[in-house]
């Protein structure tokens, strides 16, 4: 009888252990724009742009999402032999829930932000890409809780980078046609001269109604994968049963050995 009991317990342990490991490896990230078909200097590389905005359609998110980090990929330009290096600058990233449509970005970038629903996400430097990608991770107080029911999501990246160093070049992966799921705008208020836009125009600011960075929205589960509490509790319970069964077996053996 004990042997049967032990077999049942061990079976449960293996089953729950599988749940434990599977849960720990789950990823809840939301990749927007993959796989990408072009590259853009703005806002991390060789483009003279200090403010970049990108608005994402709420339909890209299946429900409320806690954003803890952002993943970006590098577009390898075959004509550029320079290493992929991000400018050593301060980057200020913020999020805002907005009511404007994806293709409705205003050329005055300040008008695109909802002042009552804006939040700082990250301020600091960004490390150079490793294996063709780089990640921006914030701290927990700055996690952004986005609810798609509240509107579309706007991301703004502002930088004080000095783009005059010709030895630095980095092209972030973009989609030149998003299917109207995201769009972008960029400007350089500190240098209001004419700049080249990704769509081929030479206006400042640049407003692109169907263009933008490929972004991987990372949740806390992506950065620190842990098993669900239910699976962990069940595993602890079963391990306790195994211990109790072992103790019972030892006690029975000692009782039988008594004179």
Whether the model pTM is above 0.75: yes
Cis peptide bond upstream of 59, omega within 30: no
Sign of CA dihedral 170, 176, 180, 184: positive
In this prediction, what percent of the chain has a pLDDT beyond 90?
A: 50
Domains of the chain, residue spans: 2-24+225-257, 30-223
Closest CA to 67 of 175, 187, 218: 218
According to the model, what pLDDT value does residue 12 have?
47
Q: What is the pLDDT of residues 164-209, one digit of tens each?
A: 666 667 889 999 999 999 999 999 877 776 677 887 778 889 999 9
According to the model, what pLDDT value does residue 66 have?
97
Q: What is the pLDDT of residues 114-131, one digit of tens each?
A: 999 999 999 999 999 999
């Amino acid at each position: 009888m004990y042997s049967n009991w032990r077999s049942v317990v061990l079976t449960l342990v293996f089953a729950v252990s599988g749940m434990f490991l599977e849960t720990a490896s789950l990823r809840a990230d939301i990749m927007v724009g993959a796989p990408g078909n072009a590259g853009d200097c703005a806002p991390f590389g060789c483009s003279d742009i200090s403010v970049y905005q990108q608005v994402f359609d709420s339909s890209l998110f299946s429900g409320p999402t806690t954003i803890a980090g952002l993943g970006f990929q590098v577009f390898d330009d075959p004509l550029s032999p320079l290493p992929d290096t991000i400018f050593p600058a301060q980057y200020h990233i913020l999020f805002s829930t907005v009511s404007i449509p994806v293709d409705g970005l205003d050329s005055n970038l300040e008008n695109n932000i909802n002042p009552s629903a804006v939040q700082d996400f990250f301020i600091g430097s960004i490390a150079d890409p490793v294996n063709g990608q780089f990640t921006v991770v914030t701290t927990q107080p700055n996690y952004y809780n986005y609810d798609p029911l509240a509107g579309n999501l706007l991301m703004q990246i502002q930088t004080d980078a000095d783009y005059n160093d010709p030895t630095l070049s980095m092209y972030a992966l973009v989609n030149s046609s998003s299917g109207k799921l995201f769009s972008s705008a960029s400007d350089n208020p500190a240098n209001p001269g004419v700049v080249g836009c990704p769509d081929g125009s030479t206006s400042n600011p640049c407003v692109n109604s169907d263009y933008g960075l490929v972004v991987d929205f990372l949740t806390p589960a992506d950065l620190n994968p842990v098993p669900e509490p239910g699976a962990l509790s069940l595993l602890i319970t079963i391990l306790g049963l195994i211990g109790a069964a072992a103790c019972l077996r030892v006690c029975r053996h000692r009782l039988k050995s008594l004179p």
